[in-house]
Chain A
Amino acid sequence: MKILATVKRVPDPETSIKVKPDGSGIVTDNVKWVINPFDEIAIEEALRIKEKVAGSEVVLVSIGGNAAPNDVKEQLRTGLAMGADGAILVVTDAALEPLVVARALAKLVETEKPDLVVMGKQAIDDDSNAAGQMLAELLGWPQATFASKVELSGDQKSATVIREVDGGLETLRFPLPGIVTADLRLNEPRYASLPGIMKARKKELKEIPIGDLEKAGLDVSGRTQLVKMEPPPKRQAGKLVESVDQLVELLHTEAKVI
């Protein structure tokens, strides 16, 4: 079976982010870039399925630049070093909104014909949580988002997915092909070992200019526009209180929460 796993490059969650003074985006100088942690979980799940189902193939997909400062090839190579078989990079320097991402992925699904697309439930930079759902809609495929467990039927014709929903777990079964988006507890992703990094040197990383997809009918026009980005207000210093009574008093009179 063939699995597509999506890869988005995001700033390392451990680094602190600064917003540009003009509010047009974040300062990207000296930012360490990593694979979106949820995408990493998606790759891991794809690799686990591959290890269980003989003859499976995992292909990574990303949309982004192929040269500094927007180069996402490093993140794709890392995914290849984790064990994916190949990678496709749709080359564009433009920042795309989720709908355009979903449209581009739909185009790739037409040519790649995967049985399953595994994606992170959201990217930790913009937290849109939309591309997976939109892709399912565009393709008319079933979807299971926020997956915490994925199991394929013996004949690999259907998948059973446990989703983490408010107040409990929901179990869904759907026929393949379909879309799964990965939640945090789906698995613990492996890291690339040196032998993996070595093998990744020989794996194919195919670059497709976004123009090629446009010729095939991709619409890159968006519906939203980034108006302004601003950092959250600086947190006020805390206040030490003398007693529980005083705390209750202040929560009532000052914070007005009780």
Chain B
Amino acid sequence: MQALTFGITDEQRTIQETTTRMLRPFEARRQEFERALREHGRVPEEFWTALAEAGLLGAFVPEEFGGTAMGLSALATAADAMASRGFGHPLFLLTGMDALCIARSGSASLQRRFLPRIASGALKLCFAITEANAGTNSFRMTTRAVRRGDSYVLDGEKTFITGMDQADYVLLVARSRSREEIERGGLPKTSCLSVFVVDCHTPGISLTPLPMRAIDGAAQWTVHFDGAEVPAENLVGEEHAGALAMFNTLNPERVLIAAGACGQTERLLEMSIAYASQRVVFGSRPIGAYQAVQHPLADLRIRLEAARAVTMKAAAAFDAGVDPSEAGTYANMAKYLATDLAIDAADRAIQTHGGSGFSEDVGVIGYWERTRLMRTAPISKEMILNFVGEHVLGLPRSY
């Protein structure tokens, strides 16, 4: 018999086990953990320390800077395992993405300054790209970064910035060339953005809270930049070449979102199966014996297997360094499949649980918003279909 080489590797199984073990002390006091999330809107600090100790914050950090550079497959495996147990930290994904951006595009000195502290858990990072008038289309952004001596001066406004109050640094995408410059010089529209690592406590930065829902453990903010200065050495990659650095980061983000959605589906399925196995309504058979309850759950399990396969394929493609457009295709497909699946899982978990599905103590209802968010962000379902239609099917651009 030929050995089965397709699927999860021994090493990935060990990473699952590592993640499960790391979570064990938090499982033991899950209610306390969830209360902290509800009451303070933050994940307890020990969770971050535990992520660092397990080595999960250094998955994109080279070994010379205290990481493992094990890559996206490892991180996606951990993100899935973590969500499967009902845990997560919004800044875990953001810090991971930012570390990747710095490791791939940052100068040697920038890497030396930031990567060791990211791997050790000393720094939390968030990410700021979205503006009120520049969401899906980042090239419409107006937040300016203008070079003045050894610094860049930042002016403008970013919105929907997750965890800006908790983070030490924000990876900021800003416009370093005005629209007029681009038009006048006949330059490609992609050559207008630059990426910076900005200290969140820089004078000239202020925050306005947003009344948002669906993200646990971090508030969202509008971030105002009023003449805030960032040292020129904090530029990530070449000036005006930020679009590339940014796109290199967005595909892995989609894969990690997909992995998290697979984990959420696993969690919702487990809760549904447990409930359906013991809940008796008529006679003596549990409701899980009814096909109307059983089949929707069986369907989720089948689709979960498929979504996981595509997610791990997307992660493997990224780690193997395949052409970004190909890696992007799988990343988009994984995000599409997994996030729609998670929404269905939340819907069916609520239906399986009946009225108690709406109780915060049962813990299913929170997934309704949490999973639904992912159909919209970080990229909408429709934009993925647009991408696949145009780039995979070769049909005319539809937007």
Contact = CB atoms under 8 A, between A and B. Distances in A.
Interface string B258-270: 0000000000000
B30 to A, nearest CB: 16
Interface stretch (B48-56, B136-144, B321-329, B373-381): B48-56
Contact of B53 (A193, A198, A201): A193
Given A67-B3, A68-B4, A197-B70, A192 B10 contact: no
Contact of B18 (A67, A73, A197): A197
B18 A74 contact: no
A194 B63 contact: no
A78 interface: yes
A193 B54 contact: yes
B3 to A, nearest CB: 6
Contacts of B63: 198
B17 A191 contact: yes
Given A67-B3, A73-B10, A195 B68 contact: yes
Interface in A139-197: 191-197
B53 A77 contact: no
A81 interface: yes
Interface in A45-69: 67-68
Contact of B22 (A77, A78, A191, A198): A191
Contacts of B22: 191
A218 interface: no
A252 B58 CA distance: 64
Nearest to B78: A194
B277 interface: no
Given A192-B18, A193-B18, A198-B70, A77 B11 contact: yes
Contacts, number: 52
A61 to B, nearest CB: 18
Given A191-B54, A194-B70, A34 B15 contact: no
Contacts of A198: 63, 68, 70
Interface in A70-102: 73-74, 77-78, 81
Interface residues of A, number: 17
B38 interface: no
A40 to B, nearest CB: 10
Contacts of B67: 195
A193 B55 contact: yes
A68 B10 contact: no
A197 B14 contact: yes
A192 B14 contact: yes
B13 A194 contact: no
Contacts of B68: 194-195, 197-198
Interface string B72-90: 0010000000000000000
B54 A74 contact: no
B59 interface: yes
A198 B71 CA distance: 11
Contacts of B56: 194
Nearest to B59: A194
A77 B58 contact: no
Contacts of A77: 10-11, 14
Contacts of B14: 74, 77-78, 81, 192, 197
A191 B21 CA distance: 7
A186 to B, nearest CB: 18
A34 B17 CA distance: 9
B177 to A, nearest CB: 40
B10 A194 contact: no
Nearest to A73: B10
Interface of A: 34, 67-68, 73-74, 77-78, 81, 191-198, 201
11 contacts: A34-B17, A68-B3, A74-B13, A191-B17, A191-B21, A193-B54, A194-B18, A194-B55, A195-B67, A196-B55, A197-B70
Interface of B: 3-4, 10-11, 13-15, 17-18, 21-22, 53-56, 58-59, 63, 67-68, 70, 74
The 4 lowest CB-CB distance pairs between A and B, nearest first, are A194-B55, A191-B21, A74-B10, A193-B55
